[in-house]
Amino acid sequence: MRVLFIGDIVAKPGREILKKHLAVLKKEMNIDIVIANCENLAHGFGMTAKTIDEVILYGVDIITGGNHSWDKKEINPFYDSYNMLRPINFPDGVCGRGSLVFEKNLQKLAVVNLLGHYGMGMVENPFNMIEKEVQRLQNEGIKNIIIDFHAEATSEKNALLFMLKSKVSFIAGTHTHIGTDDLLIKDGTGYVSDVGLTGCMDGIIGMDIDAPIYRFKTGIKKNYDIPKKCKKIFQAIIIDIDGNGRCIDAKKIKAYDDQAPVITMESVRI
């Protein structure tokens, strides 16, 4: 099974570069399933039915979220209509689901969305909850398991790798929008601390620079905006999983504006 995991897609620039590259990339790289973090899809904050339909049209199969999943309240009724996840460790009663099993070409892939603790507000303990969910999936005979760990702290993400090594296929870090260079495979589990954003690359985490700099200098919040014109980047991980749910290879892939996607990093085994 070959899976493409796309980092946080940020607003219209992210959707535009997704449209430009995804269909061709799926065909040329023989991708079976596409997962994308879309919590910043609609003008940088949350999702709408229109923007979700747009990325599905471009070829995304499974949508994950994070702390911005509910910024656009209109999306709430649609959680049961799409292959869309929100973090599993939100309290009971919150709409949506945090885990799903997707079947393609007679193969099953479980995807779990998980939110970190540091800086993320009131959620259940991610480590205890994911341990139970992985055990539940394994009890159902699911071998291929990918986790989108949406977290601020790289230490949390790294700890999850060592806790779940050999038990899941891949742990993809999201949220910081800054791609990291630690793509690796440990005991059959692939890992990267952050896939990186898909969107504007010459702003701050995909946003116009003025509001973030103002906030850093003054401590006062200012509305973030999306640059009207920017250089765009597409960032993703290609994940190869064998028949036993083990990651056997992983590659980081990037594309800039109109340039063709290129492999920029091969996984290392530790």
Hey, which residues are catalytic here? 68
Sign of the CA dihedral 264, 201, 116, 112? Answer: negative
- Alpha-carbon distance 58 to 53, whole Å? 9
Tokens of 220: 């006062």
Task: Give me the phi and psi of 229, to 5 degrees please.
Answer: -145, 135
Tokens of 245: 């749910």
Residue closest to 239 by CA, chosen among 227, 221, 251, 222: 251
Contacts of 197 (CB under 8 A, 6+ apart): 7, 8, 9, 10, 14, 40, 177, 178, 179, 205, 206, 233, 235
- Alpha-carbon distance 267 to 85, whole Å? 27
Secondary structure letter of residue 248 according to DSSP: E
Secondary structure letter of residue 76 according to DSSP: G
- Alpha-carbon distance 43 to 120, whole Å? 21
